[in-house]
Chain A
Amino acid sequence: MLQVIESLQRVVVVTGSFGSGKSEFSLNLAISMAEEARKLGQVIALADLDIINPYFRTREACALLEEKGIKPIVPSPEVLYSDLPIYGPGIHNLLHQDDVRLILDVGGDEMGATALGSLSGEISNSEHSMVMVVNPYRPFTHDVAGIGRMARGIEARARLKIHALISNPNLGPNTTAEAVMKGHHIVRAAAAELRLPVVGLLVLRRFLKLWEDRLVTEAGSIPVVPIDIHLSPWWLQQKMR
């Protein structure tokens, strides 16, 4: 993950389709950043901008974030588990604080990216990277054309440009090394079409242990990043005995 962090600016805007793995990536990114940040005297803040989907959101991991010394930016407790289009306070200030690394976890699809519209001016004026997480095993991003449509839709609504793709090819507990490689190939083809770099290939930590050599060879210069699942419960992540 360190290589991914190095390729990103101070403010990281994480977008993607519904269920692409944005929030899990944002959490993993924040946790990795926090380990480095302590040494540098930086503050890491993770803002949940998901105004679309009221489940499996970053805000459910607040306790974990605080334990890791990360500042969660989420709505107040009374409306934390609501389906209201609101996000936490203080984002505007954090965008301009040079000692804060801010991650914005945006809601899914172009609908979710709408939340960025009101912030786009200020984000443009800060050192930022906008990434799109892509899982080519999700229905609307399963081919190069679909990924392109998603990217253009998100950019239009967010009024910001995507700088890089994060490749997250997986089938949950049914993921195989072949599925990762086949999916990653699609993401790379889409990135070439969009003239964007792929700055990381995400693989569940327990799978990466099994297939590390093959995947690292396949990924070439793209860093292969181990991911831990924080939002989906463990008993949904298991193959049935």
Chain B
Amino acid sequence: MSEQILMKGNEAVAEAAIAAGCRYFFGYPITPQSEILEQLARRLPEVGGAYVQAESEVSAINMVFGAAAAGARVMTASSSPGISLMQEGISYIASAELPAVIVNIMRGAPGLGGIHPSQADYFQSVKGGGHGDYKLIVLAPSSVQELIDHTILAFEMAEAYRTPVVIFGDAMMGQMMEPVVIPDIEPLPPNRPWATTGMEGRGPNIVHTLYLPADKLENHCNRLFAKYSEIEHNEKRSVGYLTEDAEILVVAYGIMSRVARAAVEMARDDGIKVGMFRPVTLWPFPDNALQAAARNARVVIAAEISMGQMIEDVRLALGNRVPVVLFNRIGLVPNPDEIYAAIKSKAREVNANG
């Protein structure tokens, strides 16, 4: 299928997973991502795969753990509270160095929250979430086409680094419809000599996360973090927009970057020197590129659908060189007018200060 069609974000994730060669999916339904499950329940048997609806998210993530250990290309998807339930299993999968893709179509929180769009799970996936020292690669697409491209990329990264990869969407991205092309790729079957595929012709492969001797655990963590350094070196991704002369820089990811981009265009039409920086990988956070994008900035606006989470990484990257302020809304995706108003107000301050 290489012609354009109109797809919803959730449908696109499901089709992209199949295009990427994913044949196993374990999950539990939750609004606003249930279409991913529904579509894969229908589609996976057609391509010789299997879909299992687990009895809970705890079961689902441990089925992912088992399938990945056995060499399968596997994915799960959920939304915020369901991803919370998966945290123990995610820590195990990271420790066992297994490739797996986890999609979080974020919804309003904390607690049961609501079914509104949200970006409030940043800390959970970018800073940890489960127990222990591990990292997750976190991708933040901003369109339905990018949901497709990043789903395929996530499987590639997961296998290249033997590590779980998280894809962030939100309730709006899951449901909105955009024209897309599903790339016609022919992914290689999983090549995993370490997987538990049966002992024919070799000794046992063992997948485990238990390191009782202290030195073994320390070595294990050091080895994991050497891998994470390599990922930080290779995989930081970001997109800048009109940053060259920007005195005001808006930093936003996912759906908020679409709003921010429209607001930046409105402010540019008024002659305001404003640009946008969009982290594409949230971990590893593209700090060097952000520093470069902010080189002429006199104020940075971090725009998020949370009480301010990504803003901490923006501040870590920029230090005290430039003030970083928060623009945020909860429970909805704001209109560009609101970010435009914030840009206008900062432009007046910047001009007043000469």
Assess whether A232 is in contact with B5, with CB atoms less than 8 Å apart: no
Assess whether A142 is in contact with B176, with CB atoms less than 8 Å apart: no
Instruction: Given the known inter-chain contacts A19-B8, A81-B115, please indicate yes or no for A56 contacting B175, CB distance below 8 A.
Output: yes
Is the CB of B335 closer than 8 A to any CB of chain A?
yes
Assess whether B114 is in contact with A174, with CB atoms less than 8 Å apart: no
CA distance A241 to B269 in the complex (A): 13
Pick from A55, A83, A172, A241: contact of B6, CB below 8 A.
A172
Q: For residues 155 through 187 of chain B, which have their beta carbon under 8 Å from a beta carbon of chain A?
A: 171-172, 175-179
Instruction: Given the known inter-chain contacts A81-B115, A83-B31, please indicate yes or no for A236 contacting B178, CB distance below 8 A.
Output: yes
Assess whether B115 is in contact with A232, with CB atoms less than 8 Å apart: no
Assess whether A137 is in contact with B176, with CB atoms less than 8 Å apart: no
Assess whether A135 is in contact with B6, with CB atoms less than 8 Å apart: yes
20 A–B contact pairs at CB < 8 A?
A19-B8, A55-B32, A55-B175, A81-B115, A81-B116, A82-B115, A83-B31, A135-B6, A137-B5, A138-B5, A139-B11, A171-B5, A172-B177, A172-B179, A173-B179, A174-B4, A232-B177, A235-B258, A236-B176, A236-B258
Measured between beta carbons, the chain A residues less than 8 angstroms from B262 are 235, 238
Is the CB of B318 closer than 8 A to any CB of chain A?
no
Tell me, rounded to whole Å, the shortest Cβ–Cβ distance linking B11 to chain A: 7
Pick from B8, B31, B114, B335: contact of A18, CB below 8 A.
B8
Pick from A55, A135, A179, A233: contact of B335, CB below 8 A.
A233
Measured between beta carbons, the chain A residues less than 8 angstroms from B336 are 235
Highest count of chain B CB atoms <10 Å: which of A18, A172, A179, A236: A236
Q: Tally of A-B residue pairs with Cβ under 8 A?
A: 63
Measured between beta carbons, the chain A residues less than 8 angstroms from B258 are 235-236
CA distance A240 to B5 in the complex (A): 18
CA distance A204 to B175 in the complex (A): 20
Assess whether A139 is in contact with B7, with CB atoms less than 8 Å apart: yes
Q: For residues 260 through 277 of chain B, which have their beta carbon under 8 Å from a beta carbon of chain A?
A: 261-262, 265
Is the CB of B259 closer than 8 A to any CB of chain A?
yes
Closest chain B residue, CB of each to CB of A238: B262
Measured between beta carbons, the chain B residues less than 8 angstroms from A135 are 6
CA distance A172 to B177 in the complex (A): 8
CA distance A238 to B178 in the complex (A): 11
CA distance A83 to B177 in the complex (A): 19
Measured between beta carbons, the chain B residues less than 8 angstroms from A170 are 6
Measured between beta carbons, the chain B residues less than 8 angstroms from A142 are 5
Assess whether B179 is in contact with A139, with CB atoms less than 8 Å apart: no
Assess whether B178 is in contact with A83, with CB atoms less than 8 Å apart: no
Instruction: Given the known inter-chain contacts A56-B176, A172-B179, A232-B176, please indicate yes or no for A139 contacting B261, CB distance below 8 A.
Output: no
Assess whether A137 is in contact with B115, with CB atoms less than 8 Å apart: no
Measured between beta carbons, the chain A residues less than 8 angstroms from B115 are 54, 81-83
Q: Which residues of A pack against B, CB within 8 Å?
A: 18-19, 53-56, 81-83, 135, 137-139, 142, 170-174, 179, 232-233, 235-236, 238, 240-241
CA distance A179 to B114 in the complex (A): 38
Contact with A along B240-268 (1 / 0, CB 8 A): 00000000000000000011011001000
Closest chain B residue, CB of each to CB of A241: B265
Instruction: Given the known inter-chain contacts A138-B5, A235-B258, A241-B265, please indicate yes or no for A172 contacting B178, CB distance below 8 A.
Output: yes
CA distance A227 to B15 in the complex (A): 30
- 7 closest A-B pairs by CB: A55-B175, A235-B262, A174-B179, A171-B179, A83-B31, A137-B6, A19-B177
CA distance A139 to B265 in the complex (A): 33
CA distance A142 to B182 in the complex (A): 14
Assess whether A54 is in contact with B6, with CB atoms less than 8 Å apart: no
CA distance A139 to B31 in the complex (A): 21
Measured between beta carbons, the chain A residues less than 8 angstroms from B7 are 138-139
Closest chain B residue, CB of each to CB of A56: B175
Assess whether A240 is in contact with B261, with CB atoms less than 8 Å apart: yes
Measured between beta carbons, the chain B residues less than 8 angstroms from A235 are 258-259, 262, 335-336
CA distance A171 to B144 in the complex (A): 13
Measured between beta carbons, the chain A residues less than 8 angstroms from B333 are 233
Measured between beta carbons, the chain B residues less than 8 angstroms from A56 are 175-176
CA distance A48 to B336 in the complex (A): 28
CA distance A56 to B177 in the complex (A): 10
Tell me, rounded to whole Å, the shortest Cβ–Cβ distance linking B97 to chain A: 36
